[in-house]
Amino acid sequence: MSRGGKRIHKTRATFILSNPFYTGLFKYGGELHEGKYEPIIAKKIFDKVQEVLKQRGRPHHKTKYEPQDFCGLLKCDTCGMSITGEYRVKKQKNGNVHDYIYYHCTKKNKSVKCSEPCIRQEELDKQISSLLQKFSLRSDWAEKLLAMAEKDKAVSAQSVSAFVLKSQNQIRAIQTKLQRLLDGYLEQDIEREVYREQKAVLLSEKKTLEEKMARIEQKQNDWLEPFENWIKVATNLVKIARDSNLLEKKVAAKEIFGSNLRLASRAVRGESVFPYLSALRAADSIGKIPESLIVVGREGFEPPKAMPTGLQPVPVDHLGTCPHLLKKFLKCNDFKIGKE
């Protein structure tokens, strides 16, 4: 409702929700500028709202059949189109009525003649449940990994403190240079153009340091929450697989495979994403190497040199690398803290 008590029009509401002004940014002359006022909402929340608006802005087509639980989870391996589900009722001559849910390719790819057969929901459920259990994490391993993550959190806090102190000293040095530069300009020892150029360079350096310092302080433990979430999901996968809640299985499968699940000749297959691949390899290593090496590895709980560039399978020798790889993945565009 508006201040006058009138209902806000849909277009006006969309404009308000998509206006970056409330995040501390504003547009002027077609250019985005940083405001000097206190933001009302966080940029992260604003970005999520934009995603929702984008999804709602897409045209929705009415379907003849209600979407089923596993819709949107798989792609057809033959033509790459989505796998959809349909509810069907079969009436026999003797009066018996049977209802079924089938999943099949939408066959919307006009350039490929798709011959992928349909699959019953019961069979699809069985295969997905079997896949989920392969990525489960033992509870004793989970406890050790969480303890290691807490230790790494403490080390990161020390690194952040050192970086912040160093940055503050650098900022103070820049402020001193700015004052000396201004004094030289006022005394007419420095020309106007030279003063403006050097001032711009120093202000840019100062702003970069301030943003890095704020970002590191705010995000130093951003990796910990998704890591703990992975532990929670991975230790609960056996229970999810054995339960009858298909939506929970769909959510878990999305977490593990992303958009990599395919249906090929009624068989579900796909490549898992980081860090679930680690749990699978750890399970495969049981009996081949000592379990102590599965959790920590021969070189200890240290960050590996390689860093994942996206949500793709990455080589992981032991579960102990997961917190560091996850932290690096989430901070891949930020200042790296800790020793490399």
d(CA 272, CA 133): 13
- Long-range CB pairs of 244-249, under 8 A, 24+ apart, other chains included: 246/69, 246/70, 246/121, 246/125, 247/69, 249/69, 249/125, 249/128, 249/129, 249/132
Number of domains in the chain: 3
Contact 90, 99 (CB under 8 A): yes
Establish if 63 belongs to a structural domain: no
Domain that holds residue 90: 75-133
Residues 191 and 241 in one domain: yes
Which residue type, as a one-letter code, is found at position 215? R
Establish if 47 belongs to a structural domain: yes
Domain boundary among 93, 110, 133: 133
Residues 117 and 15 in one domain: no
CA distances from 100 to 45, 119, 161, 186, 249 (A): 41, 10, 60, 85, 19
- pLDDT of the chain along its 340 residues, tens only? 566 777 777 787 888 888 888 888 877 776 677 788 888 888 888 888 888 888 776 554 444 445 578 998 999 999 999 999 988 888 888 878 888 899 999 999 989 899 999 999 999 999 999 999 988 888 888 888 888 878 877 777 788 888 888 889 999 999 999 999 899 988 888 888 888 888 888 888 888 888 888 887 777 667 777 778 888 888 889 999 999 999 999 999 998 898 889 999 999 998 887 778 777 777 777 777 776 666 655 443 334 444 334 333 333 444 554 544 444 444 443 333 333 3
β-bridge partners, 99? 89
3-class DSSP state of 128: helix
Residues 154 and 283 in one domain: yes
Residues 36 and 164 in one domain: no
Domain boundary among 133, 166, 181: 133
Residues 310 and 250 in one domain: yes
Beta strands in the chain (DSSP E): 25-28, 31-34, 75-76, 83-91, 97-105, 119-120, 262-264, 267-269
Query: What CATH number is attached to the domain comprising 50?
Result: 3.90.1750.20
β-bridge partners, 86? 102
Establish if 174 belongs to a structural domain: yes
| Stated length of the chain | 340
Give the angle 152-156-162 at the CA atoms, nearest 5°.
150
Report how many helices (DSSP H) and strands (DSSP E) the chain contains, helices first: 11, 8
Residues 92 and 197 in one domain: no
